[in-house]
Chain A
């Protein structure tokens, strides 16, 4: 069974890809047309961006997604703060919380997570990020380097799982000092969240791979994904684990392919030409890979279509990763089928605007895929995972 997640933006949203201006949330100045908060009589109406996040979660739940990913960056709202506020407003929706293990104490993380599991009937999922590196890590107060961060992630997850029980757990670790850690019985019986692991470098698999339930990647050209999966399988075999794969994919699907591309063509005049220079900083291997797939000069949007339906320019039209699928409902569903044949076990889909596109993708694309997928509306949460 393939789990299909949606995404809950933690940094506002824009009404379409045609104009880069955000209107949802308060990251841009409030004006008539702003939502959460909106203006009434010249004053904020008292709704906050959390209310919009709640609406997207409910839309995704109703549209047949098993849950949603909540990303975390220095400029975004915090996924744990949102999840802890919203779990009781949804029934089946799983909250996939992105976080960096280095910033939390592992036993505290276990207590926080087990409490969320208890309150939500097991609807917490982790997206464990080991860090994009560069200035952002120092912004967060993290001075540990790339390969050491994976070692820390491994130690963190060792402790989190070790303490997740009633027997006292000790570890004199490289990063953490743990003495007699345990959970009270009511929390210890909760399930450890599934782990979507960001990072598939050799260092990642070597040090932390034993904890990954899913290797989460951004969409790439299919050949590159096939090679990457093979490499992860080979690396994992040395550690006697069988990896599962998840893909984060932007979706732009319309009734016809022509309509889908027309959306992008309308957005293209707003793209800053300077951003077409595909170079950036940071030590994220994933980000560097994305940039490398675009060959030759970029004059128009179709120059970024690296293979049919696989478009590498979404980051030019909204914040976030570059690659996604563009096409008719049938074409996009067929590409998702192919990805499952390639070995994908789980998807995190997204589209702008997240609220309306959750309904569209849920009603037009999901019914067209042929692989078996978890239907959270007919399956109870615990047995689904």
Chain B
């Protein structure tokens, strides 16, 4: 089985070229993912950068194939309106929108009643997703909760028969795993280790609700033709000596990608074949989705598409008979 591979989009100026508008810079990254047969793009919630709804809408409008996952803080919009915006996006863009609700990241504003504790935020998220699903799946929906109240809600006509955004959740607390087990389609872990530790508990909780939740990983990546070249590149770019953890494949795990400016700390460093072996092992073990953070985005997305993807995808024109 081939994993679903997504790449993360920029929310800030990364090249710092004054003649290149930030939206044009981002459009190039979207186009890179589109033409290299990457499955999708991921627009992160970034309080210090561009807002992700705008990022995702633009990516969907200017691509044909890409799925676009919107990371959205649950405080930012009421669930009926969030679902309404999503419904139009699904109509406009052939059902390619995904959601990644955020609860744990900091926010600077919220509608009352305020959520203050970890448990509050997860209770709010549970209600948010219950209401969003409720108005999506029903023509008449009522809800009387702590945070949200709806009477006679529900999407009708052409807004009423659309795929709900594929739901990506994250976190390792009891609340996070419980929320994912009830609502999630994909649970994104931040490392294979974290998945080993918490994945079984998520699976058990999901089974109790008669559901399954796919496993995914958010990873940074630095790949070159061989491990030596990758390590050289890393030494050149990272200001302090990297603390790499060697893996059986020959690839290495590194927790220091933030030092290269990445948004995701952990990931693989190595040759194409070795990193592909690591990813293949994870896929064989049940990982369905990999959200990558690679820099610089355009160049490294091409590298992933041309060098890494062929080692993960076995389907060819010959085997499908397609032309």
Q: Which residues of A contact B (CB under 8 A)?
A: 25-27, 46, 48-50, 74-75, 77-78, 80-82, 84-89, 102-108, 111-112, 114-116, 118-119, 135, 138-143, 159, 163, 168, 173-182, 184, 186-187
Contact = CB atoms under 8 A, between A and B. Distances in A.
Interface of B: 12-13, 21-23, 27, 47-51, 53-58, 60-62, 73, 75-81, 84-85, 87-89, 91-94, 107-112, 114, 131, 143, 148-154, 156-159
Given A27-B157, A118-B23, A177-B111, 12 more contacts: A26-B91, A85-B60, A87-B58, A102-B78, A103-B80, A111-B47, A115-B54, A115-B55, A139-B80, A140-B81, A140-B150, A159-B109
A182 to B, nearest CB: 7
A119 B85 contact: no
Main secondary structure of the interface of B (DSSP, over half): mixed
Contact of B149 (A75, A141, A178): A141
Nearest to B113: A177
Given A108-B73, A138-B151, A163-B109, A177 B114 contact: yes
A106 B148 CA distance: 17
Contacts of A46: 94
A179 B148 CA distance: 22
B150 A103 contact: no
A366 B299 CA distance: 49
Contacts of A141: 78-81, 131, 143, 148-150, 153
A84 B153 CA distance: 25
- Please indicate which of the listed interface residues A27, A119, A173 has the most CB atoms of chain B within 10 Å of its own CB: A119
Nearest to A173: B112
5 contacts: A77-B92, A108-B76, A119-B23, A141-B148, A181-B108
A81 B68 CA distance: 14
A111 B51 contact: yes
B98 to A, nearest CB: 15
Given A115-B51, A180-B108, A81 B88 contact: yes
A80 B85 contact: yes
A135 B151 CA distance: 8
Contacts, number: 165
B244 to A, nearest CB: 33
Nearest to A143: B149
A84 B57 contact: yes
A88 B108 contact: no
A108 B49 contact: no
A45 to B, nearest CB: 12
B111 A175 contact: yes
A184 B149 CA distance: 33
Given A78-B88, A108-B73, A84 B158 contact: no
Contacts of B93: 48, 50, 85
B150 to A, nearest CB: 4
Contacts of B53: 80, 84, 112
A255 to B, nearest CB: 37
Contact of B48 (A80, A139, A175, A184): A184
Nearest to A104: B77
B6 to A, nearest CB: 20
A50 B97 CA distance: 15
Contacts of A89: 61
B88 A112 contact: no
A46 B95 CA distance: 12
